[in-house]
Homo-oligomer: A and B are copies of this chain.
Amino acid sequence: MNLAPEALPGGPVSHAIARLARIHQLLAGRLLRELGLHPSQELLLMRLWESGPQRQSDLAAELGTDSAGTTRIVQRLEAAGHVRRRPDPTDRRATLVESTPAGDALRDGVERIWAQLEELTVGDMSPSEQEAALASLLRLEENVLATEKGARCGLPAARRGAPPVVRRG
């Protein structure tokens, strides 16, 4: 735990991640709006396309939100006809969420958006540069994920005695 190893000439990596995160999500969100999808809605749909019907609790875990938030995202997608719910035959508490044909119809558009984003992001980089960037990103993701999941080790368990200072604007 070397808390201040040595300063990198380009600033902390976390700052670079944060800046890239913000700008990338901004851009992705704008592109996605063409399809009438909000980022969380698109993310949920992508999980369904990748892994088939999912229980809401699993979707919630993957989205990083609680069950309440997931419920509403699913409700909106359902109202739009992109998603359908059916009871889980093995557990009558649970509901399985699956993409409808109308939802599947969005897939081409979504993939086009991602291809566009990919071109804008790494279009001018050589294959080896792209691979290096990808390797770094995966490594960073792994680390953050380990913290997020395992957690409780180095983390001060945020949200304990944290007074909400800035409220009620």
Taking Cβ atoms with an 8 Å cutoff, the residues of A that contact B are 1-6, 8, 10-28, 30-31, 33-38, 41, 43, 64, 72, 75-77, 79-80, 82, 114-125, 127, 129-141, 143-145, 147-148, 154-156, 158-159, 162-169
Contacts and interface: CB of A to CB of B under 8 A. Distances in A.
Assembly stoichiometry (copies): 2
A119 B3 contact: yes
B122 A132 contact: no
A58 to B, nearest CB: 16
A122 to B, nearest CB: 5
A155 B117 CA distance: 10
A145 B22 CA distance: 11
A102 B11 CA distance: 26
